[in-house]
Chain A
Amino acid sequence: MPPWARTALSRIATAALSLWILVTLTFFLAHLTPGGPAYAILGMRATPVGVNQVNMRLGLDVPLWMQYLTYLGHLCTLRLGYSFLLNQPVAHLIVMYAANTLLFTSLSIVVGTLAALAIGMVQGASWNRWPGRLIGAWQLATYATPSFFIAGMLVLVFASTLGWLPAGGITDAHMTEPGPLSYARHLVLPVATVSLIVAASLSRYFGQSVAEELERDYVRTARAKGLGLRDILRGEVARNALRPFITLLGLYLPALFAGSVVVETIFDFPGLGWLLWHAALQQDYPTLIGVVLLIGALTIVGNLAAELANAALDPRLRSRTLA
């Protein structure tokens, strides 16, 4: 077997191991905490007999290790159970809500990243002078402001006071056939919130690497040859500063999802974060575990893909990932 194949295999095995640990942890945590689904379903009407009946119906009366094996079997065939809150299969729910989150998050990433690149370029070119310092102060202020406060202020100004945009939801309730414009209007404030945060945090890293690149010898050579700062920035500097930035973007995605949980709840935007929140409030375990596992699996698979892609692109990394 060639060494790169062995590297890839060992990486995949590690990722699979992480995934298995995650599944096992969530299963046992959910099953070993007092209370349990029977109490959540029956609520005030819980009697010992009723609890026993529900447990038998849900297959919770067999030994825990048998439940665990059944659960693993179901997961392998993507049967995630049934949401008793929304009365639908969890897998179906996730697909439905994921589409909204995907639209919302990808729009925010695109807007936020483009802004971050432009802002970072300006900041890097004027690191210790006023535009750069001002941008630095703005980045610190945005970092210190929680997403729900930014969202709240946007709602207060643009929805409550000015009345330009809707405060939440995904379409206008009074329309029977909402057009794309209605969707777009509802997306403006949530996307603005998240892309503001993305732009502030990513532009700091990009600005710093642009500033570092500008210190290097090849920049001095290019300047000596008579190239203007603008051309140097757009050419080599941008390309070199972009590489660590792409890795960072990959690491940043899970954090972004966590942020979208809060933003989706504020704007009552029916995405995965909203689903997670409702499932948590109503103790809808199948949905809760389904969404949690999906997020974990996406992160693990995403990290694996980034690592393999990096190894494929850069021959120097192929052997290093072996360690």
Chain B
Amino acid sequence: MLVAGIGLATFVLLLSFIGPLLWPVDPFALGPHSVLSRPSLAHPAGTDDLGRDSLARLISGGATTLTVAIPSAIIAFLAACFYGFAAALGPAWLDRLLMRLLDAILALPSLVVLIFFAALTRLDAAHLAALLGLVSAPSLARLIRNEALAQRERDFILAARQLGASPFYIARVHLLRVMAPILVVNATFLVGDTILALSALSFLGLGVQPPHTSWGGLLESGLTVAPLGAWWLIVPPGGMIFLAMLAASLTGRGLLARAGDRL
């Protein structure tokens, strides 16, 4: 499972980032003479309603999607670690305050929060990555806090506290090491979550804005010409999201199975 997941992830990453070298076609070049043409040798994935090459757009959409989604997964992971450890190791009132706040935030599905923010201001790629990261963090933050609370009572950490170690030292040296397996597994799942959230947001026209391409945006524009039966504009972007999610999920589950006896 782990091997399949890593293999798929490599494929998706290579296609998106090395792809432009192998298929050096301009994704924005209009082709007035080849509007909505079926897949052929000249256009292996066909062309869209403005005659642009779909394969080139798929590759550039992948690069955009992954350069936003992967950093935002890292932001989400760091934010969740910070929040969770602060709640678990800080004073009791801080824990209570942070958890109440989390309850209120978790009452809203993350997609609804994203739509709310995207409506307030139009976001560029950097802000989008930051927002996506912060919105994806809460449930992992709670998981880390609960796990850290349980680990905190173990003898070696009690001993470290007796010796006067600061909460930062305990989090950095002890908790990060003990919780490494569970953290790595959840970080992998986070990448899948952010890819899905970004694609949904772009699909709704609130994420990556044109002229930039993204898998979600490509799928949306493909669906507008669905009545013409242009399957080659719908299946490839949807399939890429599927493969990326499958890669994250398989890798995460594979790691979980490996870590099973260490948890």
Contact = CB atoms under 8 A, between A and B. Distances in A.
Interface of A: 14, 17-19, 21-22, 25-26, 29-30, 33-35, 140-141, 143-149, 152-153, 155-156, 159-161, 167, 254-255, 257-258, 261-262, 265-266, 276-277, 279-281, 283, 288, 292, 295-297, 299-300, 303
Given A18-B100, A262-B204, A160 B116 contact: no
A300 B109 CA distance: 12
A192 to B, nearest CB: 16
B19 to A, nearest CB: 21
A292 B107 CA distance: 10
| Interface range on chain B (Cβ under 8 Å from partner) | 35 or more
B212 to A, nearest CB: 18
Given A146-B196, A167-B226, A265-B204, A299 B107 contact: yes
Contacts of A161: 229
B71 interface: no
Given A22-B107, A149-B242, 5 more contacts: A17-B100, A148-B200, A261-B112, A279-B119, A283-B119
Contacts, number: 145
B100 A21 contact: yes
Tell me what chain A mostly uses at the interface: helix, strand, loop, or mixed: helix
Contacts of A30: 120
B223 A261 contact: no
Interface of B: 100-101, 103-105, 107-112, 115-121, 192, 196, 199-200, 203-206, 216, 219-220, 222-223, 226-229, 231, 234-235, 238, 241-243, 245-246, 249-250
- Determine chain B's interface SS by DSSP, over half rule: helix
B128 to A, nearest CB: 15
Contacts of B111: 258, 261-262
B10 to A, nearest CB: 17
A296 B107 contact: yes
Contacts of B219: 148-149, 152
A318 to B, nearest CB: 21
Which among B192, B205, B238, B241 has the highest number of chain A CB atoms within 10 Å?
A: B238
Nearest to B117: A29
